[in-house]
Amino acid sequence: MRFSRLCCLAIVVLFVGAQVLPAAQKPVEGEWGGKFDRGSGQLRIKLTFDHEDTSVRLNLPLKQLEDVTRDELARFSGDVAFSKRADAGTLVFEGKIFFWRPSGKFHFEPDPTFVAAMEQLGYSRIASEQLVRLVLFDVDREFLEGLIGIGYRDIPIDSAIRLTHHGIGLDYVRGTQGLGYTPTIDNVIRLRNHGISPHTIREFADLGVTKIPIDQLIRLHIHDIGPNYVARLVAAGLEPTDNGAIVRLHNHGIATQFVQELVDVGFPAHAEDTFIRLHNHGIHAQYVVALREAGFGPKDVDSIIRLHNHGMTAERAVTLRNMKPLDLSLDGVLRLENHGVSLDYVRGLLASGLPNLSSDKIVRLKNYGIPTEYVTELVGLGFDNVDSLVRLRTHGVSSQTVAGLHELGYDDLSVDGIVRLHAHGIGPEFVARLNAAGFEKMSVDQLISIKNRGIDELLTKRKPSV
């Protein structure tokens, strides 16, 4: 019984021991085949492992192969043997060339010192097939130690192999540290595959732009957005992570100076929709900045666009808005613009003393062709109502007529009275003759009656009789 237990224990120990044997001790053999390309000087090779349902395809430069020449690999037929040596060990290839295609068997001879060194770095159980891949893709001890030195201590061996398979050296990996964090191996490969160089990453860092997520950095690169563009937008107030906003601004052709100038006058940096709308309407930042003097700010984007679309200059809008006591609204400013009202015309009306001026009144006076001098003279005679001015003007009553009647004592005539007199051809000369004959301060009806009967008949009499 005791013997039986000891046998069982021995079997268990042997089984467990077999499980913990370093995988690197297993022999690696297989078949290989390929074709030598004289133009590139590379052997296009495929390795198929005997004990794995896997294979590896890659191009091996002739300079990496030992004990073989270009002519030997490029022969029509014949025996061939060569090796590929690296820190992890040596791959030995033997075979024949038939119709310019070499093929045969290979086996791997691991380097014990490399395996021991890897154990010191924490890689205690490297599979033999992994060692072969380390040789094939030129992953040496210096590369692995360098990765550990910059923060990649616990990465799998396969990840290091993937880096070299994508043509990524230690300098490139080290350059990605400029992001301000340590990207994963997958992300390092993504950066390389998208053509993002360490130089670009350094430019971002030198301009103070760090911590950009990989996805966003790649998106910026795809849209051809460089570090300077991003840095200037960040300086204007955007976050480096505002990737969507940065890309939209760039794709709409919006310059960073445009954004900065608008931010300087109170627009929020994240208002990319506003920046895009203004830009799409052809509105320059200087236009918006100038309108600030007229009281148009970030909340008045619609108004700014309306002003611009109506062809109004910022200087004109500012002048109209600041004309006191006019106090024009946006609609008022646009109404004047649409009716071609000049600044001089508005100034003239303000100087005339016409009370309660509005854009509607100004436009009405302008549309009836009433000069500011006319308004000034009639306001001075007491006619400060727009309706009165329009009626007098449309009936052809001049300001001189009204002034002449005032001087002759008819300073209390209504607009209707003046219009009736004018319609009957009664002016200051007619009234002056009557005054000279002693017929003063007559009513409108009396003046019209005399006009109708004839003034000469009346002047032969001593007293007025109507």
Mapped to the 3 state alphabet, what secondary structure does 194-246 carry?
CCCCHHHHHHHHHCCCCCCCHHHHHHHHHCCCCHHHHHHHHHHCCCCCCHHHH
Query: What does the pLDDT read at residue 460?
Result: 67
* Token pair belonging to 40: 């590139």
- The mean predicted confidence, pLDDT, of the chain is 88
Residue range 231-239: mean pLDDT, rounded: 91
Query: Is the separation of the CB atoms in 252 and 279 below 8 Å?
Result: yes
394 vs 317, residue with greater confidence: 394
pLDDT in tens, 419-462: 999 999 999 999 998 898 888 888 999 999 988 888 776 776 65
Residue range 84-95: mean pLDDT, rounded: 95
The answer on pLDDT for 210 being more than 90 is no
Ranked by mean pLDDT, which of 174-178, 311-315, 361-365 comes out on top? 361-365
Range in 16-25, 120-129, 308-317, 396-405 the model is least confident about: 16-25
Radius of gyration of the chain (CA): 49
On the question of a cis peptide bond just before residue 325, with omega within 30 degrees of 0, the verdict is yes
The answer on pLDDT for 117 being more than 50 is yes
Query: What does the pLDDT read at residue 463?
Result: 52
% residues pLDDT > 90 (the chain): 65
Domain chopping of the chain, boundaries: 23-149, 395-466
Whole-number Å distance between alpha carbons of 87 and 112? 10
Whole-number Å distance between alpha carbons of 47 and 37? 17
